[in-house]
Amino acid sequence: MVKINSARVFHPVNRIVLFLLLLFFSTCVSAQYSSLHKGDTIHTEYPYRFPLLGDKAYDKGFDMPYPWGGMFNFFTAKQDIVIPEVAVGFSEGMIPDVPVTDLTDLIEFGTLNAKATSINVRPDLWVLPFLDVYGIFGKAYAETTVELTYPIQMKTVAELEGTSLGFGVTGAGGLGKYFIVLDGNWVWTNMSNFKEPVKTGIFSMRVGRAFKVSQKPGSNLAWWVGTMRVNMGGVTEGNIPLASVIPTETWEKRDEIVDTYWNWYDNEATIAQKLLADKTLTPIVNKLEAADGSGMIHYRIRKSPKQKWNMIVGGQYQLNKHHQFRGEVGFIGNRKSLLLSYNYRFGFKMKNSR
């Protein structure tokens, strides 16, 4: 009879745990890209409740990052957009529920671009050694430039602001000295003059490496390259004062704009087009001609980014396990972006830890 030593039996659950740790637990983790070298730490009991399974990773020699963090971000971006559907209405005053007229088949657009700036805070927690979850709370500012080329030639600029709420999930994995990070977040922004929040979904992937920059424990420098996809838009509805979307440039060219419009109206427009224009465009042109900015524009627009993917390159300096400073730029195509952030990390020790 063969006697089996139960202490040497590798339980299936332990296999799963080890597999997850080896597969996903990076030598550099996502939110701070801290180097995690086996054997760099003095073996003591892991003092924190999170991440779950963190004690098993720690026992294998990984120097764990602090589980809790707060990131302060400044983000700005500019990109072209497309508007496949547009409906517009006009009223002399702030009248609720003004009917809008579908102008998709009537008007043509030139340059369409949006600038966005966000200042936000992201509290986060490493739930598992390879999985981080976070919330997003911030302030957003947007400027949308719309150039109409037919049947009226004019430019409008809308400046909006709002508050953002959202959440995200980050997965980190690695092989040797290199790390890979997958991130997805979803944000709802309540913009001024919008009836419903604007939903934005962002998916990104980064691949990079971290380097020690001094003998100071926990200090390192990381760089990465990656790609980002933005899903934004859907249908937005709202209203905005006419005066707030007409820039100085348009007022200065109002005589030319008015003449071009009436030339189209009198010589080219069909009866059906005139009926559509009289509900929306003609009242706006009359306001321009009279140099009168009163009135409200009501709208329902379907919009989306012209280019959903772009490339990102970034780097981070970690002063120590508490303080990290990050910068990242996005480029290629018509979307450009800049991210600057500071991350502070900390942990709450368990009562029975030493």
Please tell me the distance from the alpha carbon of residue 96 to that of residue 279, in angstroms, as a whole number.
Answer: 16
- Residue 208 is encoded by which pair of tokens? 């990079």
Give CA–CA dist 111/95, Å, rounded: 30
- Beta-bridged to residue 91, according to DSSP, are 296
- pLDDT of 37 reads 45
Q: Which two tokens stand for residue 241?
A: 């004062």
Percent of the chain with pLDDT over 70: 84
Instruction: Check: CB of residue 19 under 8 Å from CB of residue 11.
Output: no
What is the pLDDT, as a whole number, of residue 121? 98
In this prediction, residue 43 carries a pLDDT of: 53
* Structural domain contains residue 272: yes
24 part of a folded domain: no
Whether residue 146 lies inside any domain: the answer is yes
With respect to residue 10, please indicate whether it lies within any of the assigned structural domains: no
Q: What is the pLDDT of residue 193?
A: 80
Describe the chain by its helix, strand, coil percentages, rounded to 5: 20, 50, 30
Q: What is the mean pLDDT of the chain?
A: 84
Task: Name every residue whose Cβ is closer than 8 Å to that of residue 319 and which is 6 or more positions away in sequence.
Answer: 219, 325
Tell which wins on pLDDT, 43 or 49.
49
The CA-based angle 327-330-336, given to 5 degrees, is 120
**Does residue 26 belong to any structural domain of this protein?**
no
Structural domain range at position 237: 68-346
Q: Report how far residue 100's alpha carbon sits from residue 191's, in angstroms, rounded to the nearest whole number.
A: 20
Q: What is the chain's alpha carbon radius of gyration, rounded to the nearest angstrom?
A: 27
pLDDT for the residue numbered 46: 74
Q: What share of the chain in percent tops pLDDT 90?
A: 63
Whether residue 4 lies inside any domain: the answer is no
* Structure-block tokens of residue 292: 């009168």
Higher pLDDT, 40 or 115: 115
Number of domains in the chain: 1
- Residue 203: strand pairing partners: 184, 229
pLDDT at residue 2, rounded to an integer: 32
Q: Which residues contact 347 (CB under 8 A, 6 or more apart)?
A: 47, 48, 50, 66, 67, 68
The answer, yes or no, to whether residue 6 has pLDDT greater than 60, is no
**Residue 247: is it exposed, middle or buried by C-beta count within 10 angstroms (0-12/13-18/19+)?**
middle
pLDDT above 90 (res 348): no
pLDDT band for 53, please (50, 70, 90 cuts): confident
Where is pLDDT greater, at 98 or 217?
Answer: 98
pLDDT score at 35: 41
Question: Average pLDDT of 42-63?
Answer: 70
Which residues does 12 contact at the CB level (< 8 Å), separation at least 6?
A: none
Asked if the model's pLDDT at residue 70 lies above 90, the reply is yes
Is residue 207 in some structural domain? yes
pLDDT (mean) for 8-34: 39
Q: What is the pLDDT of residue 125?
A: 96
Q: What is the mean pLDDT of residues 44-71?
A: 77
* Residues β-bridged to residue 117: 76, 141
In this predicted structure, which of 93-102, 130-139, 273-282 has the lowest mean pLDDT?
93-102
Note if the bond before 51 is cis, omega within 30 degrees: yes
Higher pLDDT, 103 or 351: 103
Tokens of 145: 């430039």
Does a structural domain hold residue 59? no
Answer whether residue 28 shows pLDDT above 50: no
Which helix (H) or strand (E) covers residue 250, if one does?
helix 248-252
Residue-level pLDDT at 57? 67
pLDDT number for residue 58: 66
Backbone angles phi, psi at 150, to 5 degrees: -160, 135
Average pLDDT over residues 111-118: 94
18, pLDDT greater than 50: no
Residues linked to residue 269 through DSSP beta bridges, in sequence order:
none
Q: Any idea what the CATH number is for the domain that residue 331 is in?
A: 2.40.128
Question: Does position 11 have pLDDT exceeding 50, yes or no?
Answer: no
pLDDT (tens digit per residue) in 265-299: 999 999 999 999 999 999 999 999 999 999 999 99
